[in-house]
Amino acid sequence: MAEIKKKVALVGNPNCGKTTLFNVITGAHQHVGNWGGVTVDITEGDCKVHGKLYTFVDLPGTYSLSAFSMEEKVARDYIIEEKPDLVVNVVDGTNLERSLYLTVQLMELGVRPLLVINMWDEVLQKGYHIDLVRLSELLGIQVVTAVGKTGKGIDKILAEVELRDGFEELKPFSPHLLQEVADAFQEVKDSLCSCALDHKHLPEWIAIKLLENDCTVIDSVGRCQEGRELCDRVQEIIKSVERITGDEPEALISEARYGWATGITRETVTRDSVKNRVDISDYVDAILTHKVWAYPFFIFFLWALFQLTFTVGSIPQEWIGKLFELLGMGAASIIPEGWFQDLVVDGVIAGVGGVAGFLPNILILFFGISIMEDTGYMARAAFIMDKFMHKIGLHGKSFIPMIMGLGCTVPAVMAARTLESPRDRIKTILLTPLISCGARTPVFVLFAGALFPDHAGNVVFLFNVVFGFSAFAIMAVVFRHTIFKNVEEIPFVMELPPYRLPTGKSVMIHMWHKAEHYIVKMGTVVLFFSVLLWFAGEYPKNKEVESSYSKKIEHISALPSFEGQADSLRSLRLLKASELQKNTVLGKIGTVLEPAVRPFGTDWKGAVSLVTGFVAKEVVVGSMGVLYAVDETEDEESSSLQNELKKHFTPLSAIAFLFFVLLYTPCIVALTTIVKELNNWKWSVFSVTYQLALAWGVATAVYQIGRLLGFE
């Protein structure tokens, strides 16, 4: 019989270090970012304590359990439905008063949590003194301290985990309420107790939630006639309280919770007057969140990151390219001539090698993003962009998915769950794919190095940041004045965590977590499609074309040596390869698609590469490695894919092609996530359609206008 694992749920505010504790306890490599909204889904990890196995559950970071946002609903539903054996309430010791608001809501729910005061090192450093014994007495729960980033205090948490035998409920609890609200609360509670309703929660908690107009609880209670009558009576009580006090019960209950938290804090927390000074974060923020200087600093940081990505990444990129060249030559010398040698050299090695070469660039990019997140700068970026986001019709929180999109579209789309308004969520999901994800970076780096070698870093920065953000903003304005007219704006509230020096281990874990997805796709999706593309680009063989060109080549080879003989032979070989490829499955597909891509200066090979990009954007590079490998084998002077691209693209057609890559539909995994998050087939179809139309329109306009202006 399988061992029944006890469950321990971790709940706390964003930026309290909850996920860091989870990582230390379970060893899981869940992403940790020093800004709100990182953890959206429930994450589980196992840990053994003296031979017993426990499942720790990392719940979304939330400030309350009011179920207004997705995080609040997920956290509350899990605690109510699953009833974990222990709820660990992680709080930021430097912001105890604010953190206790969530604690009181847990206690209202009947939960007896273990209170973990995290960041204890910062508490001491800032001169705070917390009377832990008195705090435990006032709360009626156990209190321990911890430092998540070093693992200090984990043993205390695990010791408490061992002591709990199951879900422990507190006696009915509520903060001291204003008399009018207290009377209303008592009336609703008595009505609940007298009803024959089958409710599995404390009547005290349900009464509080009904007075707060909690939609989820109202729907649950109102499933029967008696419950609907009770809900109608509650609405009358709410109006009565509002008439007497001039305020809604929800606001008055919230004030009571904050008042309770303030009272507890005053009783238990003191601070040294010597250390009661302005934090260094305030000095730094005076510049980095300044209404004028914040923007050039932000742009500079991103520009510097992409310059670093290209300049430093180009060195190992060259090494990897040479390594795969040697692998290709080694394979060719070992494997006998024939179709299998061509498959390995031109299919597997050329396809995967084309993508593998850009791994250093991806690692450097993700390294930089991880540092921005872990230091707390990413939260500042969202803060300074709030006013701009509102001007283009978006919520300030939409900037978080926007920035996350630089890494990967999938978590960026999922991060839109942090938006309370359904309309804001839909808009953000529709716009986020326009931001260049890390998978598009290899395409930009490839073309920038090939056609703009002297300005490669700037070109990559333009497409990775400037053009993607511009497309996001322009389409946001278009949506605001068309399909999302007259949508009510919700104010933006976000905590700015203090700046923290990230640990090397933490940054490396985050960088690897992001890059792992790229590496896995390189070894699976890219490899599979490289082989598939090779077969599709080689078969069926046109024997007549092959025989005709072979005779011409043999004839010229047999002639006495003459000037231009080598060039003639090379031209014939290239024509032979091109004609043979056009008659293959891939060639026929490309021929059908070529009229659609010709308006922006791309041939059938480019069209096929774009189609394969629907699977994964990295495959675009791999596809080109396979499609243009035939030229590479015939030209000793052209040893890289970048050299081959110079023969097939002009600077203008390359720019148009990159605009299409930037703006068209994301990979199949991201598209599946978009469909799931939108949960509406009309919006899903619109998402694909408008992105394809936008990509084609912009790419064509850039190419055709460029030609008219004489750039080609």
Q: What is the pLDDT of residues 363-390, one digit of tens each?
A: 777 787 777 777 777 777 777 777 777 7
Name the strand (E) or helix (H) holding 686. Answer: helix 681-708
pLDDT at 495: 60
What does pLDDT average to over the chain? 79
pLDDT tier at 639, thresholds 50, 70, 90: very low
Per-residue pLDDT at 340 = 82
Least confident range from 61-75, 621-635, 694-708: namely: 621-635
- The three-class DSSP label of residue 274 is coil
- pLDDT (average), residues 209-218: 84
3-state SS class at 9:
strand
In the structure, what pLDDT confidence band is assigned to residue 635 with cuts at 50, 70 and 90?
very low
Which range scores top for mean pLDDT: 76-80, 396-400, 603-607, 689-693?
689-693
Neighbours of 643 (CB within 10 A): 15
> Average pLDDT, stretch 107-128?
88
Q: What band does 703 get if pLDDT is binned at 50, 70 and 90?
A: very high
195 is written with which tokens? 């009803």
Highest mean pLDDT among 148-162, 299-313, 329-343, 646-660: 646-660
Nearby residues of 60 by Cβ (< 8 Å), 6 or more positions away = 39, 40, 41, 42, 70, 71, 72, 74, 75
The whole-number pLDDT of residue 634 equals 36
In this structure, the strands spanning 43-49 and 52-58 are: antiparallel
pLDDT tens digits, 251-283: 888 888 888 888 899 899 988 765 544 566 667
Confidence at residue 29, expressed as pLDDT on a 0 to 100 scale: 47
Instruction: Find the range with the poorest average confidence among 40-44, 286-290, 373-377, 468-472.
Output: 40-44
pLDDT of residue 652: 94
Q: Among 191, 697, 286, which Cα is nearest to 474's?
A: 697
Greatest mean pLDDT among 329-338, 524-533, 659-668 = 659-668
Q: How confident is the model at residue 32 (pLDDT cuts 50, 70, 90)?
A: very low
Residue 476 has pLDDT above 60, yes or no: yes
Find the mean pLDDT for residues 505-521.
67
If you average pLDDT over residues 499-525, what whole number do you get? 67
Sign of the dihedral through C-alpha 398, 400, 404, 406: positive
Phi/psi at 55 (5° precision): -105, 120
- For the chain, what percentages of helix, strand and coil (3-state, to nearest 5) are there? 65, 5, 25
Average pLDDT over residues 645-667: 91
CA distances from 4 to 86, 477, 624 (A): 15, 54, 52
β partners of residue 6: 54
Q: Which tokens sit at 616?
A: 């994964």
Q: What is the pLDDT of residue 31?
A: 45
**What confidence score (pLDDT) does residue 200 get?**
62
Per-residue pLDDT at 167: 58
Q: How far is CA 40 from CA 29, 171, 413, in A?
A: 15, 31, 11
Residues 303-323, mean pLDDT to the nearest whole number: 76
- pLDDT tier for residue 68 given thresholds of 50, 70 and 90: low
**For residue 106, pLDDT beyond 80:** yes
Q: What is the mean pLDDT of residues 340-357?
A: 72
Contact 108, 234 (CB under 8 A): no
Phi, psi (deg, nearest 5) at residue 45: -155, 145
- 709 phi and psi, to 5 degrees? -85, 0
Nearest to 155 by CA among 53, 59, 47, 83: 47
DSSP letter (8 states) at residue 297: H
Q: How far is CA 555 from CA 538, 543, 549, 568, 660, in A?
A: 25, 18, 10, 11, 44
With beta carbons less than 8 A apart as the criterion, state whether 253 and 247 touch.
Answer: no
- Residue 489 pLDDT class (50, 70, 90 cuts): low
**Among 32-36, 58-62, 117-121, 600-604, the least confident range:** 32-36
pLDDT at 501 over 90: no
How much is the average pLDDT of 4-12? Answer: 84
Scored b (16 or more CB within 10 A) or e, 494-532 reads: bebbbbbebeeebbebbbebbbebbeebbeebbbebbbb
pLDDT of residue 169: 62
* % the chain with pLDDT above 90: 13
Residue 542 φ/ψ, nearest 5 degrees: -95, 100
pLDDT higher than 60, residue 321:
yes
Between residues 284 and 700, the one the model is more confident about: 700
**Higher pLDDT among residues 173 and 153, named by residue:** 153
Rounded Cα distance, 406 and 375, in Å: 18
The residue with greater pLDDT, 669 or 444, is 444
DSSP-based three-state secondary structure for 1: coil
pLDDT band at 651 (very low <50, low <70, confident <90, very high): very high
105-114, 229-238, 495-504, 699-708: which has the minimum mean pLDDT? 495-504
pLDDT for 612 equals: 77
Residue ranges of the domains in the chain? 6-163, 179-266, 294-480, 517-542+585-708, 543-583
Residue 466, pLDDT > 80, answer: yes
Tokens standing for residue 41: 């889904």
Model pLDDT, residue 131: 92
The CA distance from 431 to 401, in Å, is 10
Report the range of poorest mean pLDDT among 152-166, 505-519, 549-563: 505-519
116, pLDDT greater than 90: yes
Least Cα distance to 393 among 471, 466, 487 occurs for 487
pLDDT tens track for 398-426: 777 787 777 678 767 877 776 767 788 89
In the chain, count H helices and then E strands: 36, 8
Cβ neighbors of 33 (< 8 A, separation 6 or more) are: 373, 374, 378, 510
Same CATH topology for 6-163 and 179-266: the answer is: no
Structurally, what CATH architecture does the domain formed by 179-266 represent? Orthogonal Bundle (1.10)
Are 521 and 616 in contact, with CB atoms under 8 Å apart? yes
Q: State how far the Cα of 21 lies from the Cα of 120, in Å rounded to an integer.
A: 13
pLDDT band at 39 (very low <50, low <70, confident <90, very high): very low
Predicted pLDDT of residue 549? 77
Closest-CA residue to 148 (of 247, 268, 17)? 17
Contact 702, 600 (CB under 8 A): yes
User: Can you give the pLDDT at residue 498?
Assistant: 66
Out of 3.40.50.300, 3.40.630.30, 3.50.50.60, 1.20.1560.10, the CATH code matching 6-163 is: 3.40.50.300
